[in-house]
Amino acid sequence: MRRPVARKLSVLAVTAAVVSVGAAAPPAAHQPAPPAGKTPVAVGYGGAVASVDADASAAGIEVLRKGGNAVDAAVATAAALGVTEPYSAGVGGGGYFVYYDAKSRTVRTIDGRETAPRTAGSDLFLENGKPLAFADAVTSGLAVGTPGTPATWQTALDKWGSRSLRSVLGPAERLARDGFTVDDTFRGQTAANETRFRYFPATAELFLPGGALPVVGSTFKNPDLARTYAELGRKGVRALYRGGIGEDIVDTVNTPPVDPASGWKARPGDLSAKDLAAYRAKVQAPTRTSYRGLGVYSIAPSSSGGTTVGEALNILERTDLSKASRAQYLHRFIEASRIAFADRGRWVGDPAFENVPTEQLLSQKYADARGCLIKDDAVLTSPLAPGDPRRPEACAPGGTAAPTTYEGDSTTHLTVADKWGNVVSYTLTIEQTGGSGITVPGRGFILNNELTDFSFAPANPAVHDPNLPGPGKRPRSSISPTIVLDRHDRPVVALGSPGGATIITTVLQTLTGFLDRGLPLVDAIAAPRASQRNAAQTELEPGLFDSATAAELTALGHSFKANPEIGAATGVQRLPDGRWLAAAETVRRGGGSAQVVHPAR
């Protein structure tokens, strides 16, 4: 497994947790043993970090121990994930950052989503009038948007951090230079991308050392990325948006460095230095939903996460999920997800280009008008038609139905809290596992394929699609970093997940499992998942697929298909005595890593 870069922390697993809304939770269910070197739950003082990777969590803890705050530690953790999880996140991608400030008891957010080139039109992914095959679009310069991650880091540090970019990049720079230990997940993800990685000599040289897959247990080093981090530390993010790193990105996107012998047609993009120079990470207000008397805060459009999770919660508000049977709970959860996704597809896009009715989508009046479609003894048909949040009409059949478009399932999420009570929930991505597959030569990072999150063509030709490409436009996302506050605006829990469009259902199911069903946070994260995204079938993980509950739901009219793994969540919880509980996956993605500064029994 990967060896930690910082001194190994003695973290203690807990077998029970106290739900911060007041009631004691039942004992945690038996959890599978985590991989060596990873602990999925930790409790203590001084701050906490939860991510998918032990090295990355340790980088955040190192910053907290040296007096940095949650923002500083979040950037340090994210940079380390760019080393150890390079197929999910990094300098070449983007993301969404949600921050709770303990002093003012307010939540702010940063939209660090990638943007399309200024020359992009709605026909970006059309060729001879027809949409490109997804595989052809992904592994190309056409798919690459202007990276937003470095701007997000600098903006967060400038607004709320206490350390310099150079300081917080230190642990990740060291990790890239000295290396980490390859595990099964890293090797498996490399193997899944081996064919297309070989199209690009710079990618093959870095991620297929000696021409072969990295060996589990070997040390993987990325000196090019170490130098990139060092340059960003010395020169600031101008090195990317107005300097040499950016010049290399533009050259790589517009002339993809493909191996001629591979036969791969790597379509060029049209990214310019002006696109990079014009990029800004947007500081904006969060979405807010009231649920069971708590405030649920998340990211507003361009991501659909906050509005879609919020609408589904508003629909579920009218049902006492704590008293429902498991089948009744999942039925309501599935149907609320179906409705919210139908509305997401019709109404949510980049608000700089589209008139997104965010406030109306999050109104309880609209949720009630849509929620009355749900019946206890029947299943809604998918694709379900969207409603009109501007003119709510109870149980209205809605407009014309359209299926949910595809979204890559990679990405990574981290959650951080500090000793002052500040909290960060941050999801970052390069889109699908391995991104575009194109490494910037000499720079050590893969470029994103985020522009494939746009609709290639209208999902429904008869209705305006708010997610078509446009010049400088941000593609719609499902990223849903979430922070829940109590009635006094103090943190209860913060969480998020990767998983493309399944992010929304993962966050929704984890929240309701924790807040309604009384599960300890680590159990709410580990629980087998369902994901309904306005499709004919609901996806189920193995723990649900062959269960008696699934049979009960099938008898009701639900249709299912198996999905081996949905999401990979992390979270932190504020306990009533002031301690932090950090929680991560027990098994998914090889298990996650929860760490605290000062472990406590």
Alpha carbon distance 63, 53 (integer Å): 16
Which residues, listed in sequence order, are joined to residue 492 by a DSSP beta bridge? none
520 CB contacts (<8 Å, ≥6 apart)?
14, 16, 17, 19, 25, 26, 28, 514, 583
Distances (CA, A) of 189 to 362, 366, 428: 37, 42, 18
* 492 touches 484 (CB < 8 A): yes
Nearest CA to 150 among 180, 172, 123? 172
Phi/psi of residue 357, each to 5°?
A: -80, 65
* 557 touches 2 (CB < 8 A): no
Distances (CA, A) of 443 to 87, 203, 206, 245, 439: 15, 11, 10, 8, 8
Distances (CA, A) of 595 to 44, 415, 540, 584: 9, 11, 30, 10
Q: Out of 152, 185, 307, 411, pick the active-site residue.
A: 411
* 571 touches 525 (CB < 8 A): yes
* Catalytic residue check, 538: no
- Residue corresponding to tokens 């498991």: 326
116 CB contacts (<8 Å, ≥6 apart)?
124, 145, 146, 451, 454, 469, 470, 471, 472, 473, 474, 475
Nearest CA to 185 among 91, 81, 95? 81
Q: Which residues are catalytic?
A: 411
